[in-house]
Amino acid sequence: MRSAWIVLPLALVSRSTVAQDRSAAVVAVPVFQEPRHHVVFENALVRVLDVRIPSGDTTLYHLHADRTVGVVISSARAWHQTPGQPASPVDTLAAPVGSILDNASESLPYTHRVGNADTVTLRYVVGQLLSSSGVDAPALPASSGLRLDREMAGARVYRVTLAPGQSTEVHRHVQPGLTVEVGPGALRLEGTAPEAASPHAGAGKWWWRGAGTQHVLKNVGAQPLEVVEIDWR
């Protein structure tokens, strides 16, 4: 009985040690070095990532050290996992195309990995808020044609849906920011030239605009088009 009493705790200690070792063995890369998180633009304020996780694929464990805000371009059901913890259940419903993704409620830094459990690619365009713009400005007025979707630390998010041939009113972004075409179509920006833009047309096309940009968003395609504009505060 004495030897059995000793063996059982040793077995428990052994299993505990293995579990700790497995957790310690997890090596996380910065999110912008994770292979499915493609860096497409970077300056002192922002790092723009075009994230594409194919069907059935899983990202590496990666570290989020900055606030992020972005938009879903292609929707898919997914699961998440933090080191040393079981994977979450697969999402019952995928976040709809056009949904805003942000980590405003998370404690930084944090590490996780994401798995795509669906039959289509999960894609989103997201900006890392590397620094405040330092530009103070009120929210855009309703006369701009844009609807304020949300405010978070470091950013304001607006959206608008344009019918074929429809344009917003001329509006001025006092703060710099990111404009993203959500779905397939043809969006044209008329006014102040952006500082950078995606070379690819259609869903997921993005523009980085400087402070003081004044422009019009125009749908020059044949189908309704949703646009998200994010201002860096």
- Domain positions in the chain are 29-129, 142-232
Mean pLDDT rounded to a whole number for the chain: 91
Q: What are the residues whose beta carbons fall under 8 Å from the beta carbon of 228, sequence distance 6 or more? A: 71, 98, 100, 149, 157, 158, 159, 179, 180, 182
Average pLDDT over every residue of 194-206 = 96
Is residue 1's pLDDT more than 70?
Answer: no
Are 224 and 163 in contact, with CB atoms under 8 Å apart? yes
d(CA 78, CA 62): 16
CATH of 142-232, one of 3.40.50.300, 3.20.20.80, 1.10.760.10, 2.60.120.10: 2.60.120.10
Q: Rounded distance, CA 69 to CA 149, Å?
A: 12
Express each pLDDT in 129-168 by its tens digit: 999 999 999 999 999 999 999 999 899 999 999 999 999 9
pLDDT at 26: 84
3-class SS of residue 29: strand
Output the pLDDT for position 25: 75
How many residues are present in the chain?
233
| Mean pLDDT (whole number) for 97-103 | 97
- pLDDT of residue 6 exceeding 50: no
* Cα 99 to Cα 8, 11, 76, 95, 183, distances in angstroms: 51, 48, 12, 6, 12
- CB of 95 closer than 8 Å to CB of 118: no
- CATH class as words, domain 29-129: mainly beta
With 60 as the cut, is the pLDDT of residue 51 above it?
yes
Write down the pLDDT at residue 24: 54
